[in-house]
Structure 1
Amino acid sequence: MKWHRQRSGGGLYPTARAVLLMAAGAPVALVIGVAAPALWTIGFAWMLLVILLIGADALLAPGRNQVAAELTVAGTAPVGSRIDASLQVSARSRVQSAIDLDERLAPVDDVRRTLRGDETQSIPIRATRRGTAHVSALWLRWKGPLGLIWKQRRDDRDHAILITPDLRPVREDSQLLIQQAISGETARREIGTGSEFQSLVQWQPGMDRRAIDWKQSARHATLLAKDWQIERNNQILLAIDAGRAMAEPLGGTPRVDRAVTAALLAAYVALKLEDRIGLFAYAEQPIVSSAISPGVHSFPTLQRLAASIDYGTREANHTLGLTRIAQKLDRRTLIILFTEFTDPTSAELMVRACAPLLQRHILMFLIYRDEELEALAAAEPTEPEDVTRAVAAQALLRERAIVAARLRRMGVHIVEARHDTAGTALVEAYLGLKRQGVV
């Protein structure tokens, strides 16, 4: 259905049925005019009749004040989530509706609905970008009883929706990851895998034999093992590349939003494990820089700063960003960088900027697998254009692999994962470094 979206919003206009009726009189009038010129007024009478019917339909149709509509929208939603707007209409006739969305919202399907009488329908929309989104207008239109006229109304609305970073993984995954870090194979206190000596314990089958303290075992006439505790109070900096490449969508959500979600999950787990966390973000210039703070009480501050990271429109200046990070840090730090490789030039600059950091700090990269490129590269070609696309995709994937291999040779820890499991993979890699005593 086509809408006449004048800014004024209201108005009357004919339906397709009225146009067809009016047009149907033209050939009849032409035939009569040729066959019986004296009866030419019949064609004029037909058009006059249609006009009168349209006028009558406009009078009989429900007035603007006889159609009531109520639109309900949630006031807040995490980025990437689905929002179900509820529309209730009360009218004597069938009413068609549509809503106006800004650039931070996208329809899941058609936002137009047809409602009959007193009916309520759900309109699914998706939050695609962080910030304050608006549903600015509700459009309604209905026909007269003869189906010859549309009456249309535009209701100005100001439904503001605060689109926040997606904290669902923090709530859903963090407790499981923390529990794994406290007990089981990824215990927070493990035999022989920590970095701070805790105590001597009775050796039990399954423990690492390298943890046995033979001298103390001989003295006490029983087999004793050293209990090591993973070091606490480590310093971790989460660095987010907020340049143009990170604003590109991945699975329907910008990469930078994926990075913010993974960073907040890692921050929450690290704070619960009594490490210290800071946040840094940069595009062509540094845009966010927080103090490196301990305690879960600092998580709301990190969340607020992460929500302020905007979508970049220019290439990220890795040299400047990583140099500022080096100037910011006064002790050995695990730097987790969320970035994307787009072209060989920017990747080369980033690799060069990483070298000075590795002399003192530990560097970890979180890289999202580009499933779209992988699908293009693996697709069976059926047309010549498919071959071109596959070759281009393979070249881009090869460049990414080369950059990742160079970084690994330099000593950078690379975490490459799907967008839906990246946060968990990052936390597991971080816990692995803690168990190994690297951090």
Structure 2
Amino acid sequence: MATLLTRVKSRLFIPSSRKSLHALEGAHASLLRGRSLDFEDLRAYEHGDDIRDIDWRATARLSTLLVKRSRATRMHTVLFVVDTGRGMAALAPDERPKKDLAILAVGALGVLTLRHGDDFSVLHGDAAGVRRTPARRSEGALEHALRAIDAAAAPHAAASARDELLRAVVRSVSRRMIVVVVTDEQPLGDETERLLRRLRVQHDLLWITVRDADPVLAAAPRSPARAERRDVDSGWAVPAFLHGDDAVVRELREQREAEDARRGAALDALGIGHAALGSHDDAVPQLLRLLHRRADVGTR
């Protein structure tokens, strides 16, 4: 059976000549600004490299685009804050559990973290408690962390407690880190925004939203099994006759768009980079755009 990390890696190479693990890697390197670097060697330029790393003298001498590789002399720690309440066991738009997308996001960014020689840690939990893995720098530790997320985000888990996860970071993390919050579409309340303002002072924050599947389908499905939509918290089932109702579908779509706009405006106002993941096919491109946007902000 393939490990969770193997499955993640299989998604890091997209069927496109322009987007690959290296493109993600280049944006990730730019995000980690402010570190001290020692020159290591030269290599051929690849799409996604930061143009600031191009060695123009060597390029002119050898008539081929070359970039400088450096060895970091000051490491970073990336802290993944993952909501593993039972809501993460519900379906995403691609009809797979939302926790699978959370695992893909943490795994992809975790692989990049390791490739840059940085540490990572995972803090996850629900209303029943919060757990944190110690900072590590190995694929074995990353696999262990992904399995912990997979096991915790189950239908029988306690309810989500996103604010409690953020409070745990405030209480226990004193050293500056890159903090990546992975959660679902629940609205940002006043307390959430207060905690984010406090964390933003000390840490570089990224926010990844894992989308919920549409509770009402745009067309009535032929299969009764596909028609079933049940709330993971209350167990309430969406009546089958609502599927395909244009007015209901339109109202829910408009409500989601309004909530997306509110969330985006709040995160933008706080200076927090954000992305929304809805399927395994678009997850890596969305992460790529997020990292490039954050890298661009850091160069202004």
TM-score normalised by the shorter chain: which range applies?
0.5 to 0.7
3-state SS, counterpart of residue 282 of structure 1: strand
**1:274-313 equivalences in 2 (<5 Å):** 274-311=117-154, 313=157
Q: Partner residue of 2:168?
A: 324
Name the CA shift for 1:303/1:391 in 2 (closer, same or farther; >3 Å).
Answer: closer
Bigger RCO (CA 8 Å, 6+ sep): 2
Name the CA shift for 1:229/1:245 in 2 (closer, same or farther; >3 Å).
Answer: same
Unaligned segments of structure 1, at least 5 residues:
1-75, 79-163, 202-206, 214-225, 377-382
Contact 2:88-2:184 within 8 A present in 1 as well: yes
Name the CA shift for 1:274/1:178 in 2 (closer, same or farther; >3 Å).
Answer: farther
1:332 offset after TM fit, Å? Answer: 0.9
Larger Rg: 1
Q: Partner residue of 2:223?
A: none
Say which structure is richer in helix: 2
Contact 2:217-2:244 within 8 A present in 1 as well: no
For residue 409 of structure 1, the aligned residue among 269, 272, 276 is: 269
Shift >6 Å, 4+ stretches: 187-190, 207-213
Q: Deviations over 1:56-100 (max 9, x none)?
A: xxxxxxxxxxxxxxxxxxxx5x7xxxxxxxxxxxxxxxxxxxxxx
1:398 has 2:258 as partner:
yes
**1:87-102 equivalences in 2 (<5 Å):** none
Unaligned segments of structure 2, at least 5 residues:
42-49, 57-66, 219-242
Identity of aligned residues (%): 16
Q: TM-score, normalised by structure 2?
A: 0.65
Q: TM-score, normalised by structure 1?
A: 0.47
Q: Partner residue of 1:126?
A: none
**1:15-414 equivalences in 2 (<5 Å):** 76=1, 165=4, 167-173=6-12, 177-180=20-23, 186=26, 196=36, 198=38, 229=70, 233-250=75-92, 251-311=94-154, 313-342=157-186, 344=187, 347-369=189-211, 372=214, 376=218, 385-414=245-274
Cα distance in structure 2, aligned partners of 1:257 and 1:418: 11
Contact 1:174-1:268 within 8 A present in 2 as well: no
Contact 2:122-2:133 within 8 A present in 1 as well: yes
Cα distance in structure 2, aligned partners of 1:437 and 1:229: 19
1:170 offset after TM fit, Å? Answer: 1.9
3-state SS, counterpart of residue 293 of structure 1: coil
Q: Deviations over 1:302-347 (max 9, x none)?
A: 24433432325543222221111222323111111111123x4x64
Cα distance in structure 1, aligned partners of 2:126 and 2:106: 17
Q: Deviations over 1:202-228 (max 9, x none)?
A: xxxxx9699999xxxxxxxxxxxx968
Name the CA shift for 1:390/1:432 in 2 (closer, same or farther; >3 Å).
Answer: closer
Contact 1:197-1:229 within 8 A present in 2 as well: yes
Contact 1:195-1:230 within 8 A present in 2 as well: no
Say which structure is richer in strand: 1
Name the CA shift for 1:295/1:236 in 2 (closer, same or farther; >3 Å).
Answer: same
Q: Partner residue of 2:222?
A: none
